[in-house]
Amino acid sequence: MQVDLLITHASQVLTIPSHAQGPQRGDRLGDLATIEDGAVAVSNGAIVALGSTVDLAARYQAAQTIDAGGRVVMPGFVDPHTHVVFAGDRANEFEQRIAGATYLEIMNAGGGIMSTVRATRAASRDELVDQTRARLDRMLAHGTTTAEAKTGYGLELTAELKMLDAIAQLEAEHPIDLVPTFLGAHAIPAEYQGREDTYTDLVVNEMLPAVSSFTLHPSSLFCDVFCEDGAFTLAQARRILEKAKELGFALKIHVDEFGPLGGTRLGVELGAVSVDHVVTTPREEIELLGRSRTIAVSLPGTPFGLAHRDYTPAQAILAAGGALALATDINPGTTWNESMQFIMALACRYLKLTPAQALAAATINAAHAIGRGGSIGSLEIGKQADVLIMDVHDYRSIGYRYGTNLVRSVIKRGQIINQAS
Ligand SMILES: [Zn+2]
């Protein structure tokens, strides 16, 4: 039989399957379903067969063959939580933080999120697209083939819509597939300080209805809220998410990054697809999460970026039967990192995940965390052919080694995007 592309002689093809059409949960996290001396056959951008090299080479004639040369072949990374769309940078604040300035001091001096909001409001859509494209290029080079992308640096309707427009343009032109999330409730904008409920009214009554008519991926437009002291209270988060749900948005919520406000419980109650950060989450909410379909998205780059000690209690979440995914949280304030490989390295050390668990959390579970588990995140017949050839022979090297890019080739929808020489 004729196929477009045959990848042969992988030391290990990591298929990393869904379990019962869902994420890998609890103690079943880390099922790589490895094929030794494996091969992958691709046609029309989709996976048509998986098996041993001997078997597939006998069954298929390929227009193009890539010999993986005894390297690991795996699904593309999925990054399910990013603030990748923004203008400017905050390198000056990084230096101030090292010198001992607190987040509050920086914010009171006009820095923090508001400094990125000012830069993003001032940027044209094209400037925003250009600056973001450079980051997406680096993400792709590091193996990310699908990413979520949040708004939230506009904090006014026109600027939020400009961000959604930028996401739509990049989704159309860039090899990375982007899943958009409206995060108008990222922070209280400076002009609404002391009038937090008035800003919440604006999000509920004006922004959400306007954004809901924005049809990039109508079936998977997410709404997210930053529920934290200094951002949105639990009551405000509930108002926003209930309205979003009524309008047909899928839900996400930033919870328990610095303190527990009950956001995890709220996310589970409202059927959120994911709750994100999940660091200071109380025991009983971890139990609730473990019994729910809501996925915990851990962002270990953030405590690392802030030199904090506390990370997501991954072992407790898994012991409760929960589903765990990993993401970069790339943003200009707390963690500017384009690499899911580096996130895996952090997760192995600070969340005590095995490389196999971290791989599943960064691929199939990450895909489910953005509602795309049926089409990407694993190497299964019928799925989109988003495939990485890693320059390692043993999958455990991913997570073990860090600080250099271990990707040799990125294949997106069956097309070879870049290949190390
Ligand atoms: Zn975030």
Cα 388 to ligand 1 centre (Å): 26
Cα 8 to ligand 1 centre (Å): 38
Cα 187 to ligand 1 centre (Å): 11
Cα 226 to ligand 1 centre (Å): 8
β-bridge mates for residue 49, sequence order: 41
Cα 186 to ligand 1 centre (Å): 8
State the pLDDT at residue 268: 98
Cα 329 to ligand 1 centre (Å): 5
Going by C-beta distance under 8 Å and a sequence separation of 6 or more, which residues neighbour residue 121? 153, 154, 156, 159
Cα 41 to ligand 1 centre (Å): 37
Mean pLDDT of 147-153: 98
Cα 338 to ligand 1 centre (Å): 14
Query: 220-274: per-residue pLDDT in tens?
Result: 699 999 999 989 999 999 999 999 999 999 999 999 999 999 999 999 999 999 9
Cα 215 to ligand 1 centre (Å): 23
Going by C-beta distance under 8 Å and a sequence separation of 6 or more, which residues neighbour residue 195? none
For the question of whether the overall pTM of this predicted structure is more than 0.85, the answer is yes
Q: Is residue 145 a contact partner of residue 77, using CB atoms and an 8 Å limit?
A: yes
Answer yes or no: is pLDDT of 338 > 90.
yes
Cα 227 to ligand 1 centre (Å): 11
Give the pairing type, strands 295-298 and 324-326: parallel
Cα 270 to ligand 1 centre (Å): 19
Cα 288 to ligand 1 centre (Å): 22
Cα 404 to ligand 1 centre (Å): 25
Query: 292-321: per-residue pLDDT in tens?
Result: 999 999 999 999 999 999 999 999 999 999
Cα 54 to ligand 1 centre (Å): 45
| pLDDT range class, residue 64, cuts 50, 70, 90 | very high
| pLDDT range class, residue 68, cuts 50, 70, 90 | very high
Cα 334 to ligand 1 centre (Å): 9
Cα 335 to ligand 1 centre (Å): 10
Please provide the average confidence, as pLDDT, over all residues in the chain. 96
Cα 276 to ligand 1 centre (Å): 7
State the pLDDT at residue 420: 62
Cα 42 to ligand 1 centre (Å): 35
Query: 387-419: per-residue pLDDT in tens?
Result: 999 999 999 999 999 999 999 999 999 999 976
Cα 51 to ligand 1 centre (Å): 38
Cα 17 to ligand 1 centre (Å): 27
Cα 83 to ligand 1 centre (Å): 6
Mean pLDDT of 181-205: 96
